[in-house]
Chains A and B, each alone.
Chain A
Amino acid sequence: MQSETVIALEGVSRTYGAGPTAVRAADGIDIGFRRGSWTAVMGPSGSGKSTLLHCAAGLERVDAGRVMLGDTDITTLDDDELSELRRTRIGFVFQSFNLVGALTAEQNVALPLRLAGRRPKRDEVRTALAAVGLGERAGHRPRELSGGQQQRVAIARAMVTRPEVLFADEPTGALDTSAARDVLRLLRTSADDGQTIVMVTHDPAAAARADAVVFLRDGRIVDRLAGADVRAVADRLVALEA
């Protein structure tokens, strides 16, 4: 497999607020993600997982450091270029699915392509929906779908542009075990097809499906496990939260 780095954070720091109430949510983070790798990010609540993801995806400003997507330092891009990035090279999946309620599943998935000024081919969108097992539900609105189905629509939307990196912030956090299993299977398949995935999760079972697990505490990377099983991940997390 290729081992080239798709996205790299170099000394990324982000502080919220100022003065005595300032929170250092990311504190000099250095990490690279290889093409086709699936990395899970774990850590106690408030340890800076979402911040790391948001900074990496250009959704949040960084105070120091660089985020290199290929050859581009995305921290230097202006808003228009970042928007363009979001609909071409980066996909993002939220814990609360963030679908547009007025649009059908199909329209939601087509959205990034439409925003890019393309008239998406019907097949393209249908294929993306079929890939997440929702080929039959294309015409449904989000409120007519179950939580797991909505999350899969959100994944299809994030993947339809064939992004270089897919970020997912607790994609299974709002789902029951079986729905979560569907979503994880889906991510596994894409990773095996060469999709780079960075996923925040609280669930050791979910993290164990990834290729590697990174542990965060107080905005710093404190550990990294590769190819660990559920038990090893859980033990490590407990040790960290203690």
Chain B
Amino acid sequence: MLRLSWAGFRERWTLFAGAVLTVCLGVALVQSSLLLLISAAAGSAPAGATALARMRFDASTEAAVALLGVTLGFAALLAVFIISSTFAFTVEQRRRELALLRLVGGARRQIRRLLLAEATLLGLVGSALGVPVGVGLMAVQTWLLHRLGFVPDGFTGRWQLWIVAVSVGTGVILAVAGVSLAARRAARVRPLDALRETGEATRVMTTARWLTGLLFLAGALTLIGLSPVGGAVGGQAMAMNVSVCAAIGLTLLGPSLVPAVARLIPVRAAGVLGELAAANLRDDRRRTASTAAPVIVLVGLLLGQAAASSSFTAAGRQEQQRWIAADLVIDAPQAPGDRVAATPGVAGASTEVEVPIALTTGNGDLAYTRSATALLVDPVSYVRTHPGAGDLTALREGAVAAGPGADGFSPGDTVGVRVGDRDLGPLPVVAAVPQAIGGGATVLLPAEVVPEEQLAGVPSHTFVQLAPGVPRQQIVAALTGVGTVSDLDAWLERDSVARTATSTGVLIMVMGLGGLYALIGVINSVVVAGATRPREFASVRVTGFTRGQVIRTAVLESVVVTVAGLLLGLLAAAGTLVGVAATTAAVTGAVTVDVPWLLVSAVVAGTLLVTAVTSTVATRTATREHPVAVLGARQ
């Protein structure tokens, strides 16, 4: 049987090369993310570091681990999705060949076994290539992590021998899983039906597929509904996941949705070529859906995450603008003491110092300690510069207030706080400032609880309110001795970018590499779709189409499918924006939606360009042989 497979291999190498490529890249992406995650989690602070530096290291490790966890999750999701759909597609495209085997006596079981053996082989080859590619990818990802400042200087991804087993296992299992459903379906169709494309062979949507697709869409709607009540952190996570669910759901319903959407695009206006293209799209709904699938995922995920991320950044900035009453901000290498407030013309100043802490919530067996941040403040000045903060009079030594980034505790609870090696003991939560969408410190502590010597070298920022009628430049000049003085708006701009660094990092790491992978999925499906159609192209040519016309028709088809995929992908991304609008409205009181139009147009134009070019090349290849020679073999 495998000899037979091998013969098929040579004949349709582009089909199989595409499948191997998706396994290779999927495995590489998963392997690299997993190794980095493990390396980051195992890292320890350099010897001889101060207690506070060690805490800082732990906090950054936690951030890196969280980032890599998300990266790994997305990599795995994309790998599962793209590998299994590509493999399923390769089976779909060979229905005719499989029917022939059935006609000469191949049993269903044999067809299934052949396809599974093939998938195993392709999975093995793909993973074998994926392991070294993954090593290269890890270097790229490590470089990115350093560039984005997520890991300490000496960080490197460590190679583990057992990862080979994991990678190969992942590749083979995903390939086999992708094929097994399609193989079952292909084998179930009666051979004559498969040859004539009648009966069961024309069914593209199974009940299970309908149900799963609708379930994912329902999930997306539920997430939209829940995001306003999820709080700042939960709401953001839910909004971000809307496009993931929606993209998967729309893809599953693709065989019904994509042709319907494609119909709305007026290709017929392009004359007889357009008519043929439209007919082809309708006729092979499976191919149409499989080509659009990676586009939907690419656009839905990439643009959904990007739009959510930039919206939340904008919302965070606007929120701070509303919430902070100050004219200038001074960044100083350490707390400036009373010098700022004593400067003539300064009406008020609030100095804030952010320190890493270990925060314990719950008690007894449920006690849980994690890295968090505390903002050391003077409660009175803080309330002056943050008029919405509420009543902080109870915040003095021996108490804490829930900060803008608090999560998991509220006034009335008791939390344990440790700063460096100083344990402040269990402290009552006596007040809470409003939660901020941009996050921020977990708790507020009165400045005096941490002795000054422990804060040596810890930077501070001070919000400054000016007395009316005093020339600004004069005060700026007087304060430059304390530290770097900025306008509030400029400072907030920088601060919000820094605050959302994690989500931006996720975006660049995950979406950059993942987007590239999805783009390869797009290219692949176009290649696969073209590679299996030489006969069809030949029969169009013998009826009088020139080769150029055949190519133009095929390109037109790809472009229409891509546009349909783009529309559905944008719909998925729009779902996330609805969630964003609901979350920002609930948390900050104002709907903030910021669409990165430049990225949107780049992705749309790039996808169209890529499919058009790929389709041209694939069709050129498929029409290279003289049509009569192709049709001569009446298989």
Which residues on A are within 8 Å of B, measured CB to CB?
54, 59-60, 79-80, 83-88, 92, 96-103, 107, 111-112, 114-116, 141-143, 145, 147, 150, 157, 161, 174
Contacts and interface: CB of A to CB of B under 8 A. Distances in A.
A111 B634 contact: no
Interface string B594-635: 000000000000000000000000000000000001101111
A142 B11 CA distance: 13
Contacts, number: 91
B105 A99 contact: no
B632 to A, nearest CB: 6
B105 A116 contact: yes
Interface of B: 1, 3-4, 7-8, 10-12, 97, 100-110, 190-192, 195, 629-630, 632-635
Given A84-B105, A115-B106, A101 B191 contact: no
B104 A142 contact: no
A97 B635 CA distance: 6
Given A100-B97, A102-B7, A115 B635 contact: no
Given A99-B634, A103-B7, 10 more contacts: A60-B192, A83-B105, A96-B634, A100-B635, A102-B8, A111-B104, A114-B1, A141-B633, A142-B633, A147-B634
Contacts of B12: 102
Contacts of B106: 83, 87, 115
Contacts of A102: 7-8, 10-12, 97
Contact of B633 (A54, A101, A157): A101
A115 B192 contact: no
Contacts of B4: 103, 107, 111, 114
Contact of B108 (A79, A96, A145, A147): A79
Contact of A112 (B105, B190, B630): B105
Contacts of A157: 104
Contacts of A114: 1, 4
Given A54-B192, A87-B105, A115 B110 contact: yes
Contacts of A98: 100, 103, 195, 634-635
Given A60-B192, A101-B633, A115-B101, A83 B7 contact: no
A36 B587 CA distance: 87
Most buried by A among B100, B109, B632, B634: B634
Given A59-B191, A87-B105, A115-B101, A150 B1 contact: no
Contacts of B104: 86-87, 111-112, 115, 157
27 contacts: A59-B103, A59-B190, A59-B191, A79-B107, A79-B108, A80-B109, A83-B102, A83-B107, A85-B105, A86-B103, A86-B105, A87-B104, A87-B106, A96-B634, A99-B633, A99-B634, A103-B7, A111-B101, A111-B105, A112-B105, A115-B101, A115-B104, A142-B634, A142-B635, A147-B632, A150-B633, A150-B634
Contacts of A161: 105
A181 B190 CA distance: 33
Contacts of B102: 83
**A-B complex: 6 closest residue pairs judged by Cβ atoms:** A87-B105, A143-B633, A102-B11, A83-B107, A86-B105, A101-B635
Contacts of A115: 101, 104-107, 110
Contacts of B97: 100-102
B113 to A, nearest CB: 11
B341 to A, nearest CB: 85
Contacts of B632: 143, 147
Q: Give the dominant DSSP class at B's interface.
A: helix
A111 B100 CA distance: 10
B7 A107 contact: yes
A96 B105 CA distance: 18
Most buried by A among B1, B10, B97, B635: B635
B107 A84 contact: yes
Contacts of A150: 633-634
Contacts of A85: 105
Given A59-B192, A102-B7, A102-B11, A92 B103 contact: yes
Contacts of B10: 102
A210 B101 CA distance: 29
Contacts of B110: 83, 115
Contact of B630 (A100, A111, A143): A143
Contacts of A80: 107-109
A215 to B, nearest CB: 24
Contact of B634 (A86, A87, A103, A174): A174
Contacts of B8: 102
Nearest to A98: B100
Contacts of A111: 4, 101, 104-105
Nearest to A142: B633
Contacts of A100: 7, 97, 100-101, 635
Given A83-B102, A107-B4, A97 B634 contact: yes
Nearest to A144: B633
Nearest to A97: B634
Contacts of A96: 634
A123 B108 CA distance: 29
Contacts of B629: 143
A174 B632 CA distance: 11
A83 B108 contact: yes
B168 to A, nearest CB: 28
A193 B14 CA distance: 46
B627 to A, nearest CB: 12
Contacts of B108: 79-80, 83
A123 to B, nearest CB: 18
Nearest to A80: B107
B578 to A, nearest CB: 45
B1 to A, nearest CB: 7
Contacts of B107: 79-80, 83-84, 115
A101 B11 contact: yes
Nearest to B625: A143
Nearest to B114: A115
A114 B104 CA distance: 10
A150 B106 CA distance: 21
A100 B633 CA distance: 9
A155 to B, nearest CB: 13
B633 to A, nearest CB: 3
Contacts of A59: 103, 190-192
Nearest to A79: B108
Nearest to A85: B105
Contacts of A116: 105
Nearest to B192: A59
Contacts of A112: 104-105
A95 to B, nearest CB: 9
A103 B110 CA distance: 18
